[in-house]
Amino acid sequence: MKRRTFLAFVVFILPASGLYAQQIAGNWQAELKTGSQEYRLFLQVAQGKDNGWRAMLLNIGKGREAIPVRLTAVQNDLKLQIDAIKAVYEGKVSDGGAAIDGT
């Protein structure tokens, strides 16, 4: 797959249900802007083994397979590593757990 340079990787994520920073498991929707293109994404997060996290990313409307995501969460800080597209997203969960904002 071609390596892409993301000019702007702005994501505003809203949870499908009320979640707190410590409880990020659930379904999240996001909007990804890369230059002139916009993508609607769906992130599924579940508690994994050993108190870690499992996450899968889906591109809404593209009908492609789910992409595995490595997720690290420390307090309100999140880091998503998406190896399939060579991208990293780092963000903070809002105080109420209603949104994640980052780059």
**Which residues, at least 6 apart from 40, have a Cβ–Cβ distance to it below 8 Å?**
29, 30, 31, 32, 59, 60, 61
Which of 11-15, 45-49, 69-73 has the weakest average pLDDT? 11-15
Share above pLDDT 90 across residues of the chain, in percent, rounded to a whole number: 17
In terms of pLDDT, which residue wins out, 90 or 65? Answer: 90
Per residue in 34-60, pLDDT tens?
A: 788 888 889 999 988 887 888 999 988
Q: Is residue 43 part of a domain?
A: yes
Whether residue 16 is predicted with pLDDT greater than 60 in this model: the reply is no
Q: Three-class SS of residue 84?
A: helix
Q: For residue 62, what are the domain limits?
A: 10-96
Inter-residue contact 7 to 34 (CB < 8 Å): yes
* Amino acid letter for position 19: L
Q: Is residue 33 part of a domain?
A: yes
Q: Is residue 80 part of a domain?
A: yes
Q: Is residue 3 part of a domain?
A: no
Q: Domains in the chain: how many in total?
A: 1
User: Does the pTM exceed 0.85?
Assistant: no
